Amino acid sequence: MKDYDVLLHVKGESEFTADRAAGMEMLHIAILTSTSAHAKISAINFDDARKIPGVAGIFTEKDIPGNNEIGNIIADEPLLAKNEVHHVGQPIAIIVAESRDLAKKAANSIRVVYEELPPIFTPREAHAKGSFIAPPRTFSLGDIEGAWKNCDCIVEGSVEIGGQEHLYLETQNAFATPKEGGGVKVYSSSQSPTAVQKTTAGILGLPMHQVEVDVLRLGGGFGGKEDQATPYAAMAALAAMILKKPVQIVLKREEDLCITGKRHPYSSDYKIGLKKDGTILAYDVKFFQNSGASADLSTAILERTLLHTTGSYFIPNVRSYAACCRTNLVPNTAYRGFGGPQAMLVLESAIWKAAEKLGINPVVLQKKNLSKKGDEFPYGMKNLSDNAIKCFEQADKKYDIADIMENANKWNESHPSKKKGVAVMPLCFGISFTSTFLNQASSLVHVYNDGSVGVTTGAIEMGQGVNAKIRTVISRVFSIDISRIKSESTNTTRNANTSPTAASSGADLNGNATRIACEDILSRLKAFVADQLETSPEQVEIKNEKVLCGGKETKWNWTSLVNDVYFSRIGLSSLAHYATPKIFFDKKIEKGDAFAYHTFGTAIAEVNLDCLRGTYEVESMKIIHDAGQSIHSVIDRGQIEGAVLQGIGWLTMEELVYGKTGKLLTKDLSSYKIPDIYFSPKEISIEFLESDEPNAGALNSKAIGEPPFMYGLAVYFALQNAIKAFRPKINTIFDTPLTPEKVLLSLFNDHQ
């Protein structure tokens, strides 16, 4: 496929935010951050820093002309700390200098005197002390208390879940230039230009129209730039406005690792009850989210956890309690899956333990309890499809799950110190922003009078291929070659009030808005032809750039038609808006049709564990995925492969370690390990669900970005199965990530 994104990337010519500042004279920012997790600031001495030649300015909360607030959902986070700090890495002041090194040197010369306060680091402790971001919430279905007496098997347990660093290749950065009339133009590496615009305007005390935000593309976001790109853009804008010069901020990798939020660690307790035949009757679960020091997106993430309590299964009696626990760690944030993966991990752990107690393979329980069309989720929505079952069946038919497991068992018999493990992960992930109002998008399409097309939407290109998908939509609706179409940067003066590119719905929302804009222009083109040929617009069609009437060729092709339409003084641009129909959620009763639809799939993972060393390999991932009618199957495969690897990393090698004072110790890539090409599954086989159902995504597609992340769970449970094959009586503990060290300790520790 001809695609200029790919061509630019391959040639190294694609520009990221910092590249766009190349050649411009810039001042640079370093941030003075807190070294204490919880303290009163009793004094700060800036004297030495101010004397350093080349320092252009030092700004604290006192220099903020507007509102010192970056909290998006809850106003509980200052841009620059005032009097108190609540986590290590919290920004206190910004130092602007002629170079980044100079700014850093000045920052290092500043002395802050702290009066230490007691910190809280774990969500269980925060919960016990009533330290919440917002009141806890409970979702319920059926009669949980009455259900236990009908259960033949009841299992209780707990699951401890680790966080995850986004590790986008492009670290957080931005630059800002002053504009006439006191405004600023901000170039940001953000998934959410409107949030940058609004928050920056608030900080500067300006109306939103005085802040223009432009985003060309990101070198990865993964949720880490949904909310947390904003403060850096605001800092650059603040300095640019005060100093009346262009100002840039680029976090070094280590700074980025230390001061930006991560996937939320969760602690949780569950109780699950089943009938003898394996039917799950009751599930009672408590989620304690480690939100960090301020809200960020934690409440929305918690909501998605609640919404995914029962994963791919139907459970008639459910109580799901969840709390955003305020601790003194960096505020945690969106990360691919947005709280869904944590919910699914707890449920799959409960199912695994129940299967162990019943003496059967977990896959028997998984298959038996899959949600079917019409089954109710705990939030009141009915499952609209049988695709959970269809994906499972297609996987079983193609790969023969029992056969894979039997082969592994046979292999294990003849390998005393190496064990294979196999596990299955069925997937059901809700598509739509959990905050209903965010499910809207706009698209501005210009057909230029030479027949070329330009498009801008609210979507941010961050490697997920949304721009190529949007161009594909245009190419299909107009029936023109894709090389005619160019995606412009995302800019708040072209597309206003945009939602973040998140919740996997970037292509759905912006693709649908683009379709509407194209249909609008197309109707004008058709009306023109119909008028000229004295026929009705329904007779007119554009096919492969030829203009047909009643199925016969006319004198026009795409370019000559566009040219004639222009000379007839008919508009060739359209700005369209799309809002996902029908969805709603009533928080008072915690019920509603929260999602436009669900994405489904089934993954089978096979691992090979070296029981003397604790090291492991993923031998294969076999996936059936429901992508609807994929707009771009190459992109969708790439999304699945990337998500799978990220999911595996989260549960295996990616370990965040904090010191006793709340400082991140795994603050570089020699101590924080992510999967590389050598750790990738030896085989990844991906097949799409065979289905011709209509879907709510653009051109009948389905969202792809986040759901496959959760296939990583299959690898985690395959590892647990391999451990169990070596030590059948082991008391399995669910405490992620399952690093090789932990595997080794569990094999030789005697917690049988």
Question: Where does this chain bind ligand HPA (CB under 6 A)?
Answer: 226, 297, 300, 304, 334, 338, 433-435, 438, 502-503
Which of positions 185-244 make contact with ligand MTE (CB under 6 A)?
220-223
**By the rule CB under 6 A, 226 interacts with ligand MOS:** yes
334 near ligand MOS, rule: CB under 6 A: yes
- Rule CB under 6 A: say whether 461 interacts with ligand MOS: no
Can you read off the two tokens belonging to residue 310? 């029962």
How many Å separate Cα 290 from the centre of its chain? 18
DSSP string, 585-600: -BTTTTBS---SEEEE
DSSP 175-219: EEEE-GGG-EEEEE--S-HHHHHHHHHHHHT--GGGEEEEE---S
Distance CA 174, CA 31 (A): 13
Contacts of 529 (CB under 8 A, 6+ apart): 537, 540, 547, 549, 554, 556, 561
Identity of the residue, 300 or 723, whose beta carbon is nearer to ligand HPA in the bound complex: 300
653 binds ligand MOS (CB under 6 A): no
Element housing 7 (H / E): helix 4-11
Candidates 183, 463, 614, 697: give the one binding ligand MTE (CB under 6 A): 463
Q: With contacts defined by CB under 6 A, how many residues of the chain interact with ligand MTE?
A: 21
DSSP structure string for 636-660: HHHHHHHHHHHHHHHHTT----B-T
Query: Least distance in Å: CB of 322 to ligand HPA?
Result: 15
**Under rule CB under 6 A, residue 705 binds ligand MTE:** yes
**Are the beta carbons of 732 and 353 closer than 8 angstroms?**
yes
Structure tokens at 157: 């347990």
Least Å distance, CB 250 to ligand MOS, is: 21
For the record, the structure tokens of 17 come out as 């935010």
d(C-alpha 684, C-alpha 289), whole Å: 32
- Stretch 626-645: interaction string toward ligand MTE, x if CB under 6 A: -------------x--x---
Residue selected from 506, 614, 647, 675 as contacting ligand MTE according to rule CB under 6 A: 506
Does position 429 interact with ligand MOS (CB under 6 A)? The reply is no
**Smallest gap from residue 340 Cβ to ligand HPA (A):** 9
* Binding track over 489-508 against ligand MOS, x by CB under 6 A: -------------xx-----
Cα–Cα distance measured from residue 554 to residue 503, given in angstroms and rounded to the nearest whole number: 44
**Both structure tokens of 719:** 């590892």
Nearest-Å Rg of the Cα atoms of the chain is 27
Residue with tokens 């977990």: 362
SS3 752: coil
Neighbouring C-beta atoms of residue 43, cutoff 10 Å: 9
In the complex, the smallest distance separating the C-beta of residue 72 from ligand HPA, rounded to whole angstroms, is 9
Q: Which of 226, 590, 654, 706 is catalytic?
A: 706
Residue 310 binds ligand MTE, judged by CB under 6 A = no
Of 169 and 657, CB closest to ligand MOS: 169
User: Is residue 121 near ligand MOS by the rule CB under 6 A?
Assistant: no
Task: Give residues 171-200 in contact with ligand MOS (rule: CB under 6 A).
Answer: 191
Closer by beta carbon to ligand MTE, 107 or else 334: 334
Closer by beta carbon to ligand HPA, 420 or else 702: 702
Of these partners, ligand MOS, ligand MTE, ligand HPA, none, which one is at the site of residue 507 (CB under 5 to 8 Å by kind)? ligand MTE
Q: How far apart are CA 596 and CA 615, in angstroms?
A: 42
Pick between residue 86 and residue 336 the one whose CB is nearest to ligand MTE. 336
Pull the structure tokens for residue 118.
């007691």
Q: What are phi and psi of 651, to 5 degrees?
A: -95, -5
* CB 476 to ligand MTE: min, Å: 18
Find how far residue 666's CA is from the centre of its chain.
22
Residue 223 interacts with ligand MOS (CB under 6 A): yes or no = yes
**Shortest Å distance, C-beta 229 to ligand MTE:** 12
Q: Which does 639 bind (CB under 5 to 8 A by kind): ligand MOS, ligand HPA, ligand MTE, none?
A: ligand MTE
Q: Is 336 in the site for ligand MOS (CB under 6 A)?
A: yes
Is residue 77 flagged as an active site residue? Answer: no
- The sheet carrying 540-543 orders its strands as 540-543, 546-549, 552-557
C-alpha closest to that of 464 among 220, 696, 167, 165: 220
Residue 304 in contact with ligand MOS, rule: CB under 6 A: no
Site string for ligand MTE, 332-351 (x = CB under 6 A): ----x---------------
Alpha-carbon span 438 to 508, nearest angstrom = 13
421 binds, among ligand HPA, ligand MOS, ligand MTE, none (CB under 5 to 8 A by kind): none
Question: Which residue in the set 501, 608, 721, 746 belongs to the binding site for ligand MTE (CB under 6 A)?
Answer: 501
Nearest-approach distance from CB 642 to ligand MTE, in angstroms? 6
State how beta strands 111-116 and 27-33 pair: unpaired
Phi, psi of 365 (to 5 degrees): -70, -40
Catalytic residue numbers, as ranges: 706
| Site residues (vs ligand MTE, CB under 6 A) | 220-223, 336, 462-464, 466, 501-507, 639, 642, 703, 705-706
